[in-house]
């Protein structure tokens, strides 16, 4: 019944939406949009005949997409069939070169995007190929504030919220939301949390819920569910109650009424995301209750509506000896205590989206509670939207990391996607990098991170190379001189695709090298996290917000001792892995200073001292960026002028940034190592004194 009503509502909006879709496609012709159209470049379509027995809303969108973007055989007939197939899971589908079969309408639309992607990237379709999603919910988390600003957003203000103007909804807003939804659907993203996890209680005000409805009505066109982050003390701060204790009857009643109000406006509302008792946010612990008490209270309330509660495990308090241990310590004892519509959202690493972290030990360890990984698409710690860093490599490394929890091969991917544990709900989240900038993400290559998140959420087995290949081809192939000429195509692949892909695939390691190699972490400049700040330690700041807490540099060496003789964090991993990590001789060197405090003259496996190796790593990071600059310049004739110049300019800045990192970190650490920078390496170009007082965010602009 509820579903029927929803369908009715959808039909009502379908007409409006089609006008909008038309508008948004038209604008591609009327306005030079630069790279606003992302990887969905407008093509001159080849004619195609699409046949569908039943035409639901998403099937109609699929037909339109196929007709407008077909790049397969001319005059082919494509059949769309909604018919269950045992091998097809959720909104997956079965493909041939000219048919799509799926369990539901949405599967047909995903199938259409896949078929088009194969055509544009020259990948063959195997007859009867089954393409299933790894996770049921593939969600972008927007850290958008109601005033329009975005926490850790580097691409302009929010596309959803506008401060005072939150109540006016323009055609332009709707057009943008629709384009956003289409881009997401094309890569398989099916959910958006519309506001910051540091949530204002006002998000649940009547006005803002009207706006939620307006957004949800548009996003639904492409199968995107809307979710909200909520503030745990909303009953007090918005509702005027005396307490927000999750076990208090009035509090429960308040949430029930609010939830009812939301579902009356948005019948397919996805549910709540909660950051509780973390970084000053309120939570159930304020009332002596547990995270499970808080999550379960909300879960019971959204359950009748099929809603989900995503409860974040990003918790740490200033008094504990090791921040890296805290999420595990707090959440593991709660395993099995959550309702079945709660899913615990865990950041990929135990600390905080660092350039490189080992995976959080919660993955695989919580066996009776579904966990959803949270990765950060926005580049808080990886150069904002100034630096070219392809994050797919980081996420691939994370998803493929072995937890050993159920024997060898228990990768993070498999512990979260239902292939090892029998989770009822599976999901993954990415902190969005989308804003009002005309190219959405700030840096042209930051679009690739949005793309990669969606693709990995759909298929956690993809390689970064495959993803880079796809993205580059869809984004830049309009510059092939003649697409029908195989020679021109292979020339483009050789001279553009291969070198551009190389830059992307090396970019993450380069960033690690010039910022935080060998397991160093969180040695950023304070607050904005752009640039180095190993020295940053204001007297009044809690120590776990200062870099010296993390690098522990001293005369006797550098690194955080998390072994048995230190904080013992390594023992939070499965014994098979803990043994490897605990032993300095077997610990992977990429995590050396994460787990060990090591003497400056410690011998690395290549025979160099730790100090020399550190110098080499920083130096190689700088050199890699210089190579990217050269490689990029050679691609000029294959890229439109604006994009070419913008990337060129940003790479120039990235090179200066890398130099600042290298000089800042090495000169600062040298005060403790008292060893020379190997003479064969280039000398620092900055003075430490200058670097201590400069702000890289301003200086290298």
What's the min distance (Å) between Cβ of 487 and ligand GCW? 48
Q: Find the residue with minimal CB distance to ligand GCW.
A: 352
Q: Looking at residue 245, what DSSP letter applies? A: -
Q: In whole angstroms, how close is the CB of 183 to ligand GCW at the nearest point? A: 23
Does 151 sit near ligand GCW (CB under 6 A)? yes
Q: Phi, psi at residue 52, to the nearest 5°? A: -135, 130
The catalytically annotated residue of 37, 91, 352, 663 is 352
Cα dihedral 250, 252, 254, 260 in deg (nearest 10): -150
Residue 439 φ then ψ, to 5°: -95, 15
Contact 298, 288 (CB under 8 A): no
Pick from 397, 400, 347: nearest CA to 372 = 347
- Tell which one of 68, 121, 132, 198 touches ligand GCW (CB under 6 A): 198
Strands 76-82 and 271-274, by their bridges, are: unpaired
Rule CB under 6 A: is residue 142 a binding residue for ligand GCW?
A: no
Residue closer to ligand GCW (CB basis): 63 or 203:
203
Select from 353, 390, 560, 591 the one that contacts ligand GCW (CB under 6 A). Answer: 353
Residue with tokens 């890699």: 624
Euclidean distance between CA atoms 101 and 106, whole angstroms:
11
Q: Min. distance of Cβ 696 from ligand GCW in angstroms?
A: 17
Q: How far apart are CA 685 and CA 658, in angstroms?
A: 12
Angle at Cα 232 formed by Cα 229 and Cα 236, nearest 5°?
125
Q: How far is the CB of 331 from ligand GCW (least distance, A)?
A: 15
Shortest gap between Cβ of 464 and ligand GCW (angstroms)? 23
342 forms part of the interface with ligand GCW (CB under 6 A): no
For the sheet with 76-82, list strands across it: 48-52, 76-82, 99-102, 93-96, 129-131
Q: Which is nearer to ligand GCW, 179 or 380 (CB)?
A: 380
CB of 258 to ligand GCW, least distance (A): 22
Report the 10 Å Cβ neighbour count for 235. 25
CA dist 452 and 613 (Å) reads: 32
Q: For residues 151 and 320, which CB has a smaller minimum distance to ligand GCW in the complex?
A: 151
> Measured from the CB atom, is 675 or 697 closer to ligand GCW?
697
Residue 395 structure tokens = 């996420």
Least CB distance to ligand GCW at residue 387 (A): 17
Shortest reach from residue 141's CB to ligand GCW, in Å:
9
- Minimum CB separation from ligand GCW for residue 699, in Å? 22
- Rounded Cα gap, residues 195 and 163, in angstroms: 13
Nearer to ligand GCW, 492 or 524 (CB): 524
Q: How far apart are CA 410 and CA 403, in angstroms?
A: 6
Among 138, 152, 182, 562, binds ligand GCW (CB under 6 A): 152
CB of 415 to ligand GCW, least distance (A): 22
Residue among 279, 340, 583, 601 flagged as catalytic? 279
> Which residue in the set 58, 93, 110, 143 belongs to the binding site for ligand GCW (CB under 6 A)?
143
Site for ligand GCW in 682-701 (CB under 6 A): none
Does 275 sit near ligand GCW (CB under 6 A)? Answer: yes
Q: What residues contact residue 291 under an 8 Å CB cut-off, 6+ apart?
A: 276, 277, 283, 284, 285, 311, 313, 315, 330, 331, 334
Is residue 397 part of the contact set for ligand GCW (CB under 6 A)? Answer: no
Shortest gap between Cβ of 152 and ligand GCW (angstroms)?
5
Show the binding pattern over residues 226-255: x = contacts ligand GCW (CB under 6 A), - = does not: ------------------------------
Of the pair 522, 574, the CB lying nearest ligand GCW is at: 522
Rounded to whole angstroms, how far apart are CA atoms 386 and 557?
33
- 384, 495, 623, 650 from 388: Cα distances, Å: 9, 20, 15, 8
The answer for residues whose C-beta is within 8 angstroms of residue 692's C-beta and 6 or more apart is: 535
Nearer Cβ to ligand GCW (263/545):
545
Residue with Cβ nearer ligand GCW (70 or 314): 314
Q: Is 359 in the site for ligand GCW (CB under 6 A)?
A: no
We find the least distance from the C-beta atom of residue 193 to ligand GCW, in angstroms, to be: 12
Give whichever of 381 and 661 is closer to ligand GCW, judged by the CB atom: 381
Phi and psi dihedrals of 79, rounded to 5? Answer: -105, 135
Sign of CA dihedral 271, 235, 347, 447: positive
Query: Exposed, middle or buried, 263 (CB in 10 Å: 0-12/13-18/19+)?
Result: middle
Q: Which position among 17, 50, 106, 197 is part of the footprint of ligand GCW (CB under 6 A)? A: 197
CA dist., res. 370 & res. 378, Å (int): 25
For ligand GCW, the binding residue among 161, 222, 232, 314 (CB under 6 A) is 314
Place of tokens 């490689």: 631
Strand ranges, E, within 5-56: 48-52
**357 carries an active-site annotation:** no
What whole-number distance in Å separates Cα of residue 468 and Cα of residue 481? 21
User: Which of the 8 DSSP states describes residue 681?
Assistant: S
Supply 480's token pair: 């092939």
Contacting ligand GCW (CB under 6 A), which of 245, 268, 322, 380? 380
- Any catalytic annotation for residue 589? no
Query: Which one of 105, 268, 380, 612 is the catalytic residue?
Result: 380
Q: How far apart are CA 156 and CA 457, in angstroms?
A: 25
| Residue 545 or 644 having the CB closest to ligand GCW | 545
Binding-site size, ligand GCW (CB under 6 A): 11
Q: Are residues 416 and 372 in contact, defined by beta-carbon separation less than 8 angstroms?
A: yes
Interface with ligand GCW, residue 352, by CB under 6 A:
yes
3-class secondary structure per residue, 453-466: HHHHHHCCCCCHHH
* Choice between 61 and 159, CB closer to ligand GCW: 159
| Phi, psi angles (nearest 5°) of residue 594 | -75, -40
Query: Is-contact 248 262, C-beta < 8 A?
Result: no
Q: How far is the CB of 143 from ligand GCW (least distance, A)?
A: 5
Fill in the DSSP letter of residue 495.
I
- Please choose, from the candidates 71, 129, 609, 154, the residue with its C-alpha nearest in 3D space to the C-alpha of residue 378: 154
Instruction: Respond yes or no: is residue 248 known to be catalytic.
Output: no
Please tell me the distance from the alpha carbon of residue 258 to that of residue 239, in angstroms, as a whole number: 10
**Among residues 95 and 295, whose Cβ is nearest to ligand GCW?**
295
- Measured from the CB atom, the residue of 239 and 294 that comes closer to ligand GCW is 294
User: Among all residues, which ones are annotated catalytic?
Assistant: 279, 352, 380
Site for ligand GCW, rule CB under 6 A: 143, 151-152, 197-198, 275, 279, 314, 352-353, 380
């Amino acid at each position: 019944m509820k579903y029927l009503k929803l369908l009715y509502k959808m039909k009502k909006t379908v007409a409006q939406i089609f006008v909008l879709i038309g508008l948004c496609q038209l604008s591609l012709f009327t306005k030079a949009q630069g790279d606003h159209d992302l990887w969905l470049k407008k093509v001159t379509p080849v004619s195609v005949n699409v046949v569908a027995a039943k035409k639901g809303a998403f099937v109609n969108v699929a037909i339109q997409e196929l007709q407008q973007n077909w790049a397969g055989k001319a005059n082919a007939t494509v059949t769309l069939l909604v018919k269950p197939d045992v091998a097809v899971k959720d909104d997956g589908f079965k493909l041939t070169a000219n048919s799509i079969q799926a369990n539901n309408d949405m599967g047909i639309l995903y199938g259409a995007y896949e078929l088009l992607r194969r055509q544009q990237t020259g990948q063959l379709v195997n007859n009867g190929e089954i393409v299933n999603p790894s996770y049921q919910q593939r969600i972008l988390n927007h850290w958008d504030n109601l005033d329009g600003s975005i926490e850790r957003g580097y691409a302009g203000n929010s596309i959803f919220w506008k401060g005072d103007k939150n109540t006016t909804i323009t055609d332009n807003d709707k057009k943008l939301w629709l384009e956003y939804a289409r881009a997401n659907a094309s890569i398989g993203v099916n959910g958006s949390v519309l506001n910051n996890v540091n949530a204002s209680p006002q998000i649940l005000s009547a006005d803002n819920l009207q706006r939620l409805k307006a957004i949800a009505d548009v996003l639904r066109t492409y199968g995107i569910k809307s979710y909200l982050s909520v503030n745990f003390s909303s009953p007090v701060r918005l509702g005027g109650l005396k307490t927000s204790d999750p076990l208090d009857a009035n509090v429960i009643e308040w949430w029930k009424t609010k939830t009812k109000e939301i579902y009356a406006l948005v019948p397919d509302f996805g549910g709540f995301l909660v950051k509780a008792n973390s970084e000053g946010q309120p939570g159930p612990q304020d009332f002596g209750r547990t995270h499970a008490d808080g999550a379960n209270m909300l879960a019971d309330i959204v359950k009748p509506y099929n809603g989900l509660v995503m409860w974040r495990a990003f918790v740490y308090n200033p008094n504990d000896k090791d921040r890296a241990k805290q999420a595990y310590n707090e959440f593991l004892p709660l395993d099995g205590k959550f309702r079945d519509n709660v899913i615990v959202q865990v950041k990929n690493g135990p600390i905080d989206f660092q350039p490189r972290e080992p995976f959080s030990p919660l993955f695989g360890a919580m066996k009776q509670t579904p966990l959803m990984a949270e990765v950060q698409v926005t580049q808080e710690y990886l150069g904002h939207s100034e630096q070219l860093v392809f994050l797919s490599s980081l996420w691939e490394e994370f998803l493929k990391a072995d937890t050993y929890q159920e024997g060898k091969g228990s990768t993070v991917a498999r512990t979260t996607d239902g292939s090892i544990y029998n989770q009822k709900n599976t999901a993954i989240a990415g902190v969005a990098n989308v804003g009002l900038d005309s190219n959405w993400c700030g840096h042209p290559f930051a679009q690739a991170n949005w793309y990669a998140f969606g693709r990995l959420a759909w298929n956690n087995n993809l390689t970064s190379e495959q993803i880079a290949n796809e993205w580059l081809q869809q984004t830049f192939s309009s510059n092939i001189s003649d697409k029908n000429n195989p020679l021109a195509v292979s020339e483009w692949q050789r001279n553009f695709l291969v070198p551009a892909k190389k830059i992307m695939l090396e970019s993450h390691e380069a960033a690690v090298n010039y910022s935080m190699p060998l397991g160093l972490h969180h040695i950023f400049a304070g607050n904005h996290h752009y640039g180095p700040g190993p020295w940053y330690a204001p007297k009044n700041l809690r120590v776990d917000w200062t870099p010296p807490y993390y690098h522990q540099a001293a005369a006797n060496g550098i690194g955080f001792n998390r072994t048995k003789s230190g904080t013992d964090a390594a023992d939070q991993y499965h014994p098979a892995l803990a043994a490897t990590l605990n032993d300095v001789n077997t610990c992977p060197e990429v995590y050396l200073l994460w787990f060990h405090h090591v003497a400056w003259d410690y011998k690395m496996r290549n025979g160099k001292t730790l100090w020399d190796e550190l110098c080499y790593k920083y130096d190689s990071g700088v050199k890699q960026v210089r190579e990217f600059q050269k490689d990029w310049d050679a691609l000029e004739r294959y890229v439109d002028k604006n994009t070419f110049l913008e990337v060129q300019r940003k790479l120039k800045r990235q090179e200066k940034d890398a130099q600042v990192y290298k000089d800042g970190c090495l000169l600062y650490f040298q005060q403790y190592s008292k060893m020379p920078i190997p003479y064969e390496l280039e000398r620092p170009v900055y003075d430490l004194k200058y670097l201590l007082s400069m702000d890289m965010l301003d200086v290298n602009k």
